[in-house]
């Protein structure tokens, strides 16, 4: 296979003696949205944490623009523009919205463009502009997810990974975040890896998808193919 923009090549990942991912592979083209779906405990979060440099691999490779990333630090991943929006938001609750956003602009390039990026974020989410001086811990769950997404965008990602962004949120909030996700992929060429429990929503936004079961990619195809796949429909779509 010709090397892709971002490519995970047969990675094996363990927690101690317990193997979690088995010869896992996928790729993302520039400006493409892929979804990684599956049941709880399938290994979805482990994939994106590994692809953010937070977990080391036992074997395999991770390529970005042709360069090997496996073995690099999470700081190096961030500086290259490979950024994770973690599950559960993980904001600093006693810091303001603006201070949380500032933390995302940690690379040299991101710091230089901080003001411009903040203005763009406030256009996407006017409520965050209104509440920029409010402590993040006092926001609603939906507003906190907006901050978490925006903090990721402050790092000027080339590849943005989103881990369970819809968890516990009202559908209209999720729809808004996904709308902006599609916009940045199309208009800015940012590649997106979406790990999502809501399989139907994930497949509606993604170009392609991978179904993960017990640490192994079992099914892959375009989003429309998976939406009409009998096995996927029965296991994840409820019909």
Helix or strand (DSSP H, E) at 220: strand 216-222
Residues 53 and 71 in one domain: yes
Tally of structural domains, the chain:
2
In a domain, 184, yes or no: no
pTM for the whole structure: 0.94
What DSSP state is assigned to residue 172?
A: H
* Contact in structure between 173 and 142 (CB atoms under 8 Å): yes
Residue 220: predicted pLDDT: 97
Residues 19 and 126 in one domain: no
In a domain, 176, yes or no: no
What is the chain's mean pLDDT, rounded?
94
112 is in which domain, residue-wise? 90-156
Residues 161 and 76 in one domain: yes
pLDDT in tens, 124-183: 999 999 999 999 999 999 999 999 999 999 999 999 999 999 988 989 999 999 999 999
Residues 18 and 108 in one domain: no
Residues 163 and 143 in one domain: no
Q: Residue 74: which CATH number?
A: 3.40.50.300
Residues 33 and 68 in one domain: yes
Residues 148 and 161 in one domain: no
User: Mean pLDDT over residues 29-44, rounded?
Assistant: 94
In a domain, 60, yes or no: yes
What region does 43 belong to: left with phi over 0, alpha with psi -120 to 50, or beta? left
Residue 183: predicted pLDDT: 95
* Contact in structure between 38 and 94 (CB atoms under 8 Å): no
User: Mean pLDDT over residues 53-81, rounded?
Assistant: 95
Residues 146 and 163 in one domain: no
In a domain, 40, yes or no: yes
Residues 48 and 164 in one domain: yes
């Amino acid at each position: 296979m010709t090397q892709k923009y971002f490519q995970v090549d047969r990675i094996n990942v363990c927690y101690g003696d317990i193997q979690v991912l088995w010869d896992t592979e996928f790729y993302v083209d520039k400006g493409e949205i892929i979804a990684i779906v599956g049941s709880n405990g399938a290994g979805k979060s482990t994939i994106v944490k590994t692809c953010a440099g937070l977990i080391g691999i036992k074997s395999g490779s991770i390529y970005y623009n042709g360069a090997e990333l496996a073995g690099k630090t999470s700081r190096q991943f961030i500086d290259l523009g490979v950024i994770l929006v973690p599950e559960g938001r993980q904001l600093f609750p006693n810091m303001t919205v603006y201070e949380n956003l500032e933390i995302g602009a940690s690379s040299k390039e991101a710091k230089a463009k901080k003001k411009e990026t903040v203005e763009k974020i406030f256009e996407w989410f006017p409520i965050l502009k209104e509440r920029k001086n409010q402590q993040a811990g006092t926001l609603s769950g939906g507003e906190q997810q907006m901050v978490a997404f925006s903090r990721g965008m402050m790092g000027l990602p080339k590849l943005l990974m989103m881990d369970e962004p819809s968890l516990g949120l009202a559908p209209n909030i999720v729809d808004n975040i996904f709308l902006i996700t599609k916009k940045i992929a199309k208009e800015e060429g940012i590649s997106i890896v979406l790990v999502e429990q809501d399989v139907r929503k994930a497949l509606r936004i993604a170009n392609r998808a991978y179904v993960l079961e017990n640490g192994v990619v079992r099914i892959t195809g375009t989003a429309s193919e998976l939406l009409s796949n009998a096995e996927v429909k029965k296991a994840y779509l409820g019909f």
